[in-house]
Structures are given as structure tokens and as C-alpha cells.
Structure 1
Amino acid sequence: MYTPRLEIFPDRIAENVRYILGLCHEHGAQVACVSKVLRAHPAIQKVFKEEGADMLADSRTENLRLAAETYPEMPRLMLRLPALCEVENVIRYADYSLNSSLGTLEALSQAAVGLNRTHKVIIMVDVGDLREGVWPDRVVPLVENAARLPNIEIAGLGANLACYGGVIPTPENMRTLIDCRDACRQATGLPLDMLSGGNSANLPLLMEGGMPPEINHFRIGEAIILGRNVLDRSPLPGTRQDGLRVVAEIIELESKPSIPIGPRGQDAFGNQVEFEDRGVRKRALLNMGRQDVDIEGLTPEDEGIIVLGGSSDHLVLDVSDAHQALQLGDEVAFMPTYSALLAASTSPYVEKKVVHGL
């Protein structure tokens, strides 16, 4: 098979979807399943649909267009705050969007009127992570002004945590979101039924029984696809971590010193690299580099292999202690982190291969 490639195991990921949807639905919460890390690959969209996702969510309008064409009956959520240049496509391809600025909401309203559609919005509140969201003391005026816009329906409020500042979801910051909703209800009379508490980072609090019952919507991606607790990247109980693998091919296999010989400057990416002297080692060169994947996010399936580094087009491994004998042309497989998966999914040079079965 062609290399480098990203192998997707939808039947394994389906087990994670079932488990996490079960947790959230038992709490009384809907789940928007997020496909952005796999670039809305049809195999993952199919798993989400068949396993009972309440919504499909993505940060790119192009991916939402693909979802709309494949599963037009499924509600779709635009995760990233819309840019003014894309508001028409947000209206075309998303039923919901996350928002924090009146100017953007006005542009969405104008586009929705022009396309004769009603668009639902979730007003984002910054409860401490310092990425998107209006500050809590300014949310009521924003909701009051947004409520006057034609063809815009305010579905509720939302928050995002553990993406920029690493702030962990707690009962206290979830209560801040609830209090903001209650204040907006009192000021406007709107029901604001949806409280979108956050992403995969909210699952540990939910599993511990600390999630307030008022939080009734989550946006889940990484925990489903990689089976990881995103607060520390440990395996999330009840999930599998083998739903994806990255595979590349050995294009050179030589024994070489572990330290470069001669005066050294910066590498191709402007870094001054330090090397450990381990003597002469067997080194494998693979046909995959930083243009294809985040090489720091690769863990070899063979625990005896060490990732040494790489350049744009090459990955360098120490395979002296590999558990299996390797030769030119052999394939080496890796488990990707979120960042490595994101890059491999996006790279046009990495083939995407769906592998069925457990």
C-alpha cells in the first residue's frame, strides 16, 4: 500500500462513540460530535450518524458543506467563531454557530435574511480560559442586542475550556455559565434552553458526577476519536486508543554515529539541535516529515524504536533495539497524538485508508 498513510479504524472508534454518547445522554445532554481533526472524513461522519450523534460539528465551512451534502438531516454546528468573510457559507451549511461579537451576529442576520433562513446561535461566555467568549459581565447586553436581530434565534449560551489557557472545567466555572444564562433569561425573557458546557475536557467532571444538571450540551472530538482524557492525555476509561495509526516506509537503513560530524549551525527549521552520544546506532530514514505530520506527536508501536527527529520530508529513527528485524521497504507504524493526527489528516501527501474490523 501507498505510504505515508493514515489508517482509520471506524469500528474501533464506534465503540468510543457509543460509550461517550451513553455517558452524556444519561446526564441529559446532547452531543455535537466533532470531525475536524479528521477533516470530516466520510468514514467518521458515518460512524457519528449511525451511533446516534445529536449534531455534527466542525470549524471549517468546507467540512460542514461535506456534512450537509452527506447527511442533510443532521443538525450542524460551526465551532469556530465565524469570520465576516464566511458568514454566507455559515448560514448555508450550519444550523448553529458559536458567537461572541455583535458585529458578527449582525452580519449573520443579514446573510440569513438574504438566504431566507433562520440561524441559531450559541453566545459564548469566557469563564476563564481566555480564548473565545464575551466576559460574563458583558453577556446580558450582547444577548439583548442579538435578540433584536431578524432571522437569528439565540439557542443558549456556551463556554470553552482547556484549549488555550488549560483551565479545567469545574462546578464553579460551570456555575458561572449557568448564572449568566439565568441573568440573560431575566433580562430578555428568552428560554435559552441550551447550555453548551464545553468539549472533551468536560468528560472527567461528568464521569465524576460533578457536572451540574443544567449543562445539557457538549462538543466532543478528541476523546471520541483518540480515547484520551484531554486534561493529561491519559487513556480515558471505557474507550479505545487504537482507532488510528500513521504508517511510513523505510527508505534508508544504515549504521551511523549518533552525533553529526563537523561544525554545526541551525537545522532547516531554524533550531539548534542537541544530540546524545549513544555511539554507532542503526538508523532508519522514513518517507514522512514535518510537511506531513507533527513528528513530536508520533509514538512508535514498536517500543524499541526511538524517534530522533526529522526534516520536511524525512523522519529519522533509531531502530537498533527494534523488537523485529527491519529492512529497506518495511513499514513502521505510529500512534498519533491530536496534533500529529491533525497534520496527517490535513496533508494531501498522506493517503487516508479506512480499515474495517476490530
Structure 2
Amino acid sequence: MHYPLLKIHTQAIRHNIRAILQKLNQWQLRAVAITKGFCADLPLVKLFLEEGITCFGDSNPGNLLKIKHTFSTRNSDLQLYLIRLPMSSEIQLIVDNNIVPFVSNFESLQLLNHAAYKVGKFQKVILAVEGGDAREGFLEEEILGNFNFKALKYVDIVGLGTTLACLNGVLPDLDIVTRLVALKKQLEEKLDKELTLSVGGTTFLELWEGEPLPRGVDEIRMGEAFLFGHDISRKKAFSWLNQDAFEVVAEIVEVKRKQPLWGKARGFDAFGKTSAFLLSGEEKERALVAIGKQDVDENQLYPEDKNVTIIGATSNYLVLDVSKSSQNYKPGDTLSFRAGYGAVLRAFLSPYVSKIYF
């Protein structure tokens, strides 16, 4: 078997999808599966489709095209969201492929309108709304201002979308949801049509679990809950979901007792940072594992052996303290790690990590 590898446990993910859909059905909400965390890898997309999810969102148009070209002929209700604001160079691709973009400026709306006019079709869009995290989105006063949305004859505004807890960690609450629902109603009156209110990401689940919310939110976009059963913005694992769907396995290439040269001048590491682990100068039995920052985010790896500690990582090594482990590790042995979002994302991006579905 070729190491390092990423094991994907599909039954754990299937359980999460079913459990979430059951709750969303009770709350009268639609699910949008965000695929950027696994680069829209087709076996996983197929799993979501098998469980009845037909709307997918991604920040990379290439991932959306991969989904469309593979599954659209068998799924006529397939819907694709570009959840990252579109670049002007992507406008024609979006129109040609019926991708629904999130848009936060009038210039992009006008470009989409012109591109749709040229090919004689209507282009669906979702207006991104600033919800409080100070990232992307129209301000409320812009949406309710003097801009004539109806003048965009070939743009079909189908909804409002907001995202929280991505940049500044601002969490959604009842006040934010109430304000978004009110904005939706005002825009519906302005456009004389019904709209979808789409919220993201996983952090919004907490609200429906905790208290009654005003009607008006229509869908939740999420990836983390489906894949990891976790809400990183609240440091919370959902007790009713699986957290062990992804496992990284890597091979040990060295085990030795090592001690930094205490008293020697120290600079920065290869990534321009200092390492707090070296300050003690302690001698430790260290294991070098053949996987590094180019393959995973070491901050979201959790050793299966609870007596192993991650000291740090370089481009191509993970450095472990195995001094307290009861295992007599040696080169050629493998170690397993439960993997979180950042580690899985980077593993899917790395051509050096094998991916195996179970």
C-alpha cells in the first residue's frame, strides 16, 4: 500500500447526511452540500446524490463543472452554486453552464446581464448579503436603495445568501436571522417575487437546535457537519453525528532521541515562524513521519495513539513525540490520525496522498 494515504469512511458520512436531512426536514430547510472541502471528488458527490441532495456549492468553478459534466444527464434537478464571488473572467463560463453565482456588486450583475443577453437566456443569481462577519456581501442599504434591479432584463434574482464565522468568527443569532428575514421580505416586495434565503455554514445549525426561529430561512449551506460532524466555529462536536469519517495514515521513517542545540542562535523555520516546542530544549524520542505541510494541516490531525504528541511539521515531515507511548515504534511502522477539515482539504489537494474509499 502506498503511503501517505487518506481513508474515507463512506458509511460514517452517509450516516451524517441522513441524520442531518432528517433534522432539516423537521425544520423545513433544504440542504446545500459544500464540496470545496473535498475538491468535489466524484465518489463523495455521488454519495450525496444517492441520499437525495441535488444542490451543491463550491468556490471553484472547475469543481462545479466536474459535477455537472458527470451527473447532470442523470439528475435533471441538479443545481450548482458558485459561493465565491465571481471574477469578471468567469462570467461567460457561469452563464454558459447555468451556474448560480453569489454576487455582491452591481458591476458583476451588469456583466452577467450582458453575457446572458448575448446568448439569449436568463441568468439566475443570489445576492450575497453582509451578515456581520465583515467579509463579502451587499450592505442592506445597497439592496434597498435606488438601484433598479428590474432593469437587468436577463438576470433572475432568486435569493439572498449570507455567510458567517468564516473571517472574524461572528456567530449567527436570533437578531441576525430576524434581520435577514426582514430584508428578504422587503426585497420580495421590491421585486414582486418570492426569494430564497440561503445561510451558511454549519454554525447556523446551532440556532435551530436551540430555539424557535422566525420562518423565512429556506436553506443551509454546509460541508463541515456532513463530513466531520463538527462545528469548528463553536469548537463543538455534534453528539448525533460521526466525527471519524476521515483518517490519515502515514509511515515512520526515523525514530531517535533528539535535543535541539540549546544556546545556539535561532532564527525562523522554513515558513518564517518560531517554534515554541524548541524553547525547553528537552531531549525527546522523536518519530519522523513521511507526510508534511504540503500534504496536510498538522493542526487538524489527531493521533490515534493518545500518548503521541505532534511537535510540529515541515514541508515533508511530521515530527512526533513518542516518548510516552507504550508502542515501540520503528521505521516502517505506520501511524493513524483522525483528520479535521484543514487536514482533509490539503490531503485532497496533494497529489502525493493516496485516497481510498471504504
Q: TM-score, with normalisation over the residues of structure 1?
A: 0.93
Give the aligned partner of residue 210 of structure 1.
212
CA–CA distance in structure 1, aligned partners of residues 163 and 66 of structure 2:
25
Q: Deviations over 1:216-269 (max 9, x none)?
A: 111011111111023323211310001001121111111222666733222111
Matched, 1:327 2:317: no
Percent of aligned pairs with the same residue?
32
Matched, 1:315 2:318: yes
Runs of 5+ consecutive residues of structure 2 not aligned to the other structure:
none
Letter in 2 for 1:265: G
Question: How big is the shift at 1:270?
Answer: 1.6
Matched, 1:2 2:2: yes
Describe the SS at the equivalent of 1:255.
strand
Give the aligned partner of residue 299 of structure 1.
302
Give the aligned partner of residue 346 of structure 1.
349
Letter in 2 for 1:49: L
* 8 Å contact from structure 1 (residues 78, 94) kept in 2: no
**Aligned runs of 1:120-135 on 2, under 5 Å?**
120-135=124-139
CA–CA distance in structure 1, aligned partners of residues 235 and 45 of structure 2:
24
* 8 Å contact from structure 2 (residues 123, 156) kept in 1: yes
Residues 64-73 or 133-142, more deviating: 133-142
Q: Deviations over 1:167-214 (max 9, x none)?
A: 11111111111111122122231222x111221110010112333221
CA–CA distance in structure 2, aligned partners of residues 19 and 45 of structure 1:
17
* 8 Å contact from structure 1 (residues 61, 93) kept in 2: no
Question: Per the alignment, do residues 302 and 154 of structure 1 end up closer, same or farther by CA in structure 2, a change over 3 Å counting?
Answer: same
Residues 87-96 or 237-246, more deviating: 87-96
Structure 1 segments (4+ residues) deviating >6 Å: none
Residues 338-347 or 144-153, more deviating: 144-153
Q: Deviations over 1:29-80 (max 9, x none)?
A: 1111111100001121011101111411111011001110122121111111
Question: Per the alignment, do residues 217 and 147 of structure 1 end up closer, same or farther by CA in structure 2, a change over 3 Å counting?
Answer: farther
Letter in 1 for 2:297: D
Residues 128-137 or 275-284, more deviating: 275-284
Give the aligned partner of residue 264 of structure 1.
266
Give the aligned partner of residue 88 of structure 1.
92
Give the aligned partner of residue 185 of structure 2.
182
* 8 Å contact from structure 1 (residues 283, 319) kept in 2: yes
Runs of 5+ consecutive residues of structure 1 not aligned to the other structure:
none
* 8 Å contact from structure 1 (residues 309, 315) kept in 2: yes
**Aligned runs of 1:9-20 on 2, under 5 Å?**
9-20=9-20
Q: Deviations over 1:313-336 (max 9, x none)?
A: 111111122243322111111122
Question: How big is the shift at 1:14?
Answer: 0.8
Question: Per the alignment, do residues 287 and 53 of structure 1 end up closer, same or farther by CA in structure 2, a change over 3 Å counting?
Answer: same
Describe the SS at the equivalent of 1:132.
coil
Give the aligned partner of residue 62 of structure 1.
62
Q: TM-score, with normalisation over the residues of structure 2?
A: 0.93
Letter in 1 for 2:8: I
| Pick aligned residue for 1:232 from 210, 231, 234 | 234
Question: How big is the shift at 1:112?
Answer: 2.5
